[in-house]
Amino acid sequence: MAIQTTPTTSETAAASQDAGPSGTARGGEVLLEVRDVVKAFGGLHAVDHCSFDVRRGTITGLIGPNGAGKTTMFNNITGFITPDSGTIRYRGQDITGLRPDQIFASGLCRTFQIPREHGTMSVLENLMLVPMRQKGENIWNAWFHGAEVRRQEEQNRDKALEVLGYLELTHVRDEYAGNLSGGQKKLLELGRTLMTGPELVLLDEPAAGVNRTLLKRLTSNIEYLSRERGITFLLIEHDMNMVMSLCDPVIVMSEGRKLVEGSPDEVRNNQSVLEAYLGGQYAAAEG
């Protein structure tokens, strides 16, 4: 979808609402719209009439305490569960209730808090498995169109090797994925999303279980992909140093609802956020 050069009145108003302190809107057009989404499990409303936007070109942070509804919201967006009510739009299209594979095929991908690699396959094979509608998946193509199957496999292999080189994982390409460290598995998860050519990537706690060296590389990769390849990110994270240095805007959820949205400085200096979610660490630093 091309970015409109002449916004409508409603788009101008929305951009004004999302403007930073300088009055300049963060990011471009709205890529993901979450509107009044509700998801309950029994009597517990994990997501309770929650609404927010993710604009093209941003790295948007989604924070809040355990139980705030962040991962449930990710599951609603990516089709792993269906909202009880509300709508979710991606690139202007209603994706509410679509299957995960349908949403994945549209260019919206996610990673998981606990990586879901195929442990008994090599790192390279994990990446080559990702592209959809591979000709070799059909036994008739393998028998009667072998040349086309081999050509596509070579293309997927070349792309996978390119991704591994970018992520600095080439040295473990033939290693079983299950033998990787926690940080390497997080990089592999990111690599799997890159095999699809995504527009929007949802990252679920990318810093969890990652040592500081690999975390620095992961953060640099996210920044590069956003800046140079135009990929938009929405990430859940409890590492506040990572969020405050990487994300703009930052959305805070509480009890299933959006509590606050703003720049890192605005969120960092919001009293309710300081008291409830940041444990005073930034307030203490500024005091």
Indicate the residue type of 57.
G
Closest CA to 263 of 24, 36, 1, 12: 24
Using one digit for the tens of pLDDT, what is the confidence trace for 112-126?
766 678 888 898 888
50 and 128 housed in the same domain: no
> What pLDDT is recorded for position 221?
87
What ranges make up the beta strands (E) of the chain? 30-41, 44-55, 59-63, 85-90, 93-94, 108-110, 200-204, 232-236, 250-254, 257-262
Per-residue pLDDT at 15 exceeds 60: no
- Span of 115-124, 199-208, 259-268 with lowest mean pLDDT: 115-124
Of 1 and 204, the one with more pLDDT: 204
Domain containing 222 — which CATH number?
3.40.50.300
Contact between 14 and 30 under an 8 Å Cβ cutoff? The reply is yes
Average pLDDT, the chain: 80
Using one digit for the tens of pLDDT, what is the confidence trace for 267-279?
988 887 877 655 5
Q: How far from chain centre, in Å, is Cα 157?
A: 24
> Average of pLDDT values for 247-254?
94
Residue 34 backbone dihedrals phi, psi, to 5 degrees: -110, 120
> What pLDDT is recorded for position 37?
97
> What pLDDT is recorded for position 31?
95
At 250, list the tokens: 């930052």
81 and 109 housed in the same domain: yes
Q: Is 248 inside any structural domain?
A: yes
CA angle 150, 176, 124 (to 5 degrees): 30
201 and 279 housed in the same domain: yes
For the chain, the domain total comes to: 2
Per-residue pLDDT at 127 exceeds 50: yes
